[in-house]
Structure 1
């Protein structure tokens, strides 16, 4: 009831100040979200853009075209095993599987991008959540044991709790990266733990 009175007073104030109806709707929505900081937005309330995919680099990085420019996209809040990693000539275990999984998900050639708060990382890559036909690419990688939750840097933490819950299920099932003891750790992947 208090929210209704507040919005009513705000609308009356805006009306008196000569604001038009379209400005009021925008201002009211902004006011409501600022007023209810503890309420989580649903996924559908965040803006997404659909862009063509130009290349899959690995399980957590792709290239897309945005306004005629090719951009690197780094998947927020997850890490997949590398295809080319430092001293290793071969891809890390499950690196090829993660890359193929993303290729298969993106075979339609387009992906939806959703930004969090910070747009780019220190390497100039766009940080985003990815969706194909409404399905989260990050969630599917985690669900199939092909990624771990990583690089949790506020303020880009919108889905971290959900991602951690999905990761825990994959861990409990011992699938993918979780099938190799001590392979996926908090600070990366350790192929030398692969005893198979």
Structure 2
């Protein structure tokens, strides 16, 4: 409990200076930045948002860096105390990894995402933060757009941790609850669609049956046993059993088939 309290305190200090994240604002800011990130330049980390998102400054503008190929549990920025413990631990790991250090960046196919964040592999003294987060059980491996340079290598590392249930893999559902909700919603939508389709099928079948019944009832009905035909308004029209019933479009057709008209 003491460890968790200390962790919350240290992280609250990290997050105190973090402004609210507005996707549109950062997308717009990224468009106005003329100076591209230099791969050989070392940068100081100015903010840590969670295990897989940090920030650096270029020409006085804070630029977010989204670590490629990985996804750490999300921190609850509205109430840090309600955050998943592994989200806080992943953030602390990233904080310790870059603390008082300069970082360098490596890109893949795409340099930015739709939110204007830089997509990169982050290095400190030749060590890759992305890879270390996976190795230490703080992140799962994900494909991020068309960036797949290190995907297969990370997947091999992840496989071993998943089998040994290390870190996030001890309880993957608890560490990524939003994924569970998404899957549940997809399942519910699928079930709803199936129910709707089934109801529609029943409705169509019912309509077809009713249509067939209405069509049959508008015809002349003959009794195969008695060779008597009945008009729809006749007293005995509905008394002819389905087994003995035969239908004609007109009275003339019934007469031609050897049937005589009912007296009632």
Report the CA distance between 1:81 and its aligned residue.
0.4
Aligned to 1:193: none
Aligned residues: 142
* CA RMSD of superposed structures (Å): 2.4
Q: What secondary structure, in the 3-state scheme, does the structure 2 residue paired with 1:98 have?
A: helix
- Matches of 1:145 and 1:189, distance apart in 2: 19
Matches within 5 A, 1:110-121: 110-121=102-113
Report the CA distance between 1:173 and its aligned residue.
2.0
- Matches of 1:87 and 1:138, distance apart in 2: 26
Q: Could you give the per-residue CA deviations for residues 72-97 of structure 1, whole angstroms, max 9, x where no partner exists?
A: 00001110001117999711240000
Q: What secondary structure, in the 3-state scheme, does the structure 2 residue paired with 1:113 have?
A: strand
Q: Structure 1 segments of 4 or more deviating over 6 A?
A: 85-89
Matches within 5 A, 1:65-144: 65-84=57-76, 90-144=82-136
Q: Does 1:173 align with 2:164?
A: yes
Distance 1:167-1:109 versus aligned 2 partners, 3 A rule: same
Distance 1:181-1:137 versus aligned 2 partners, 3 A rule: closer
Q: Could you give the per-residue CA deviations for residues 129-169 of structure 1, whole angstroms, max 9, x where no partner exists?
A: 01111111011100111000114321x11100011111112
Contact 2:101 2:124 in 1 (8 A): no
- Matches of 2:140 and 2:41, distance apart in 1: 25
Aligned to 2:151: 160
Contact 2:86 2:175 in 1 (8 A): no
Q: Which runs of 5+ in 2 are unaligned?
A: 1-38, 182-264
- Matches of 1:67 and 1:74, distance apart in 2: 19
Distance 1:58-1:119 versus aligned 2 partners, 3 A rule: same
Given the two structures, how large is their TM-score scaled by the length of structure 2?
0.49
Report the CA distance between 1:108 and its aligned residue.
2.2
Q: Which runs of 5+ in 1 are unaligned?
A: 1-46, 191-196
Q: Could you give the per-residue CA deviations for residues 165-190 of structure 1, whole angstroms, max 9, x where no partner exists?
A: 111121122111001154467x8477
Contact 1:53 1:106 in 2 (8 A): yes
Could you say which structure has the higher helix fraction? 2
- Matches of 2:55 and 2:84, distance apart in 1: 21
Distance 1:56-1:86 versus aligned 2 partners, 3 A rule: closer
Match of 2:139 among 147, 165, 179: 147
Whose radius of gyration is greater, 1 or 2? 2
